[in-house]
Amino acid sequence: MATVEAIKFSATWCGPCKVVGKSLEGVDLKNVDIDTDVDGLTKEYNIRSVPTIVFLKDGQEVARHSGLITKSEYETKLASL
pLDDT tens, residue by residue, 45-72: 999 999 999 999 888 999 999 999 888 8
Set 14, 53, 56, 69: catalytic member: 14
Set 6, 7, 17, 53: catalytic member: 17
pLDDT higher than 70, residue 29: no
pLDDT tens, residue by residue, 71-81: 888 888 888 88
Q: How confident is the model at residue 1 (pLDDT cuts 50, 70, 90)?
A: low
Q: Is the dihedral of CA 25, 36, 68, 62 positive or negative?
A: negative
In whole angstroms, what is the distance from residue 65 CA to residue 76 CA? 12
- 14 assigned to active site: yes
What are the extents of the domains in the chain? 4-80
Burial code (b: 16+ CB inside 10 Å, e: under 16) for 65-74 equals: beeebeeeeb
Q: Is 17 helix (H, G, I), strand (E, B) or coil?
A: helix
- 69 assigned to active site: no
Q: How confident is the model at residue 2 (pLDDT cuts 50, 70, 90)?
A: low
**What's the topology of domain 4-80?**
Glutaredoxin (3.40.30)
